[in-house]
Amino acid sequence: MDYAEQIQALADLTRLRLLNLLTQAKEICVCELVDALALPQYAVSRHLHVLEQAGFIEDRKAGRWVYYRIASGLKPYRRTLLRAVTELRDESPVFQADEERASRRLSLRREGVCCVGLVSRIGGAFAPTGGKS
């Protein structure tokens, strides 16, 4: 995988949105990203795979969940590329809307676990009604 291909991995709005969220949290579960971006699960999975192949992110399996995070030990130029993404953040409301949804979704975690007792994606959105009481 040469340099152009690695940059190619960033040349997609969905992947930029994913990276934007991942740069702002230690790690995020796939289902949380699905909710935050309001995209089909298969789309999110695919884009995450591309980013992982390009070496920008890595994953951690935890039971039936998979948490993604920014890869550790990034080479300088990759780190710079990610920095460009974070600068992009101030320029488009798309990223801010993502962050808001992600923030609400992440706040529903219990003891760091993403989906405990959550009926995910009720009617296309996550219910802020307090989960299963």
- Residue of 31, 36, 81, 85 that binds DNA (CB under 7 A): 31
- Could you give the 3-state DSSP secondary structure of residue 98? helix
Contact partner at residue 46 from DNA, a second copy, none, CB < 5 to 8 Å by partner kind:
DNA
Contact between 34 and DNA by CB under 7 A: the answer reads: yes
CA distance 50 to 128: 31
Out of DNA, a second copy, none, which partner does residue 120 contact, by CB within 5 to 8 A per kind? DNA
Pick the binder of DNA from 7, 43, 84, 127 (CB under 7 A): 43
- Phi/psi-derived region of residue 124, left when phi > 0, alpha when psi is between -120 and 50, beta in every other case: left
Which amino acid does the sequence have at 35?
D
65-70, strands of its sheet edge to edge: 28-29, 65-70, 57-62
Q: How far is the CB of 104 from DNA (least distance, A)?
A: 17
Q: Give per-residue burial for 59-81: e unless 16+ CB within 10 Å, then b.
A: eeeeeeebbbebbeeeeeebeeb
Cβ proximity to a second copy: between 39 and 106 the closer is 39
CA distance 97 to 112: 23
Residue of the chain from 23, 41, 92, 120 that contacts a second copy (CB under 8 A): 92
Instruction: Please report, as residue ranges, which positions from 66 to 125 form the binding site for DNA (by CB under 7 A).
Output: 66, 114-115, 118, 120
- Enumerate binding residues for DNA (CB under 7 A): 5, 8, 11-12, 14-15, 29-31, 34, 40-50, 59, 61, 63-66, 114-115, 118, 120
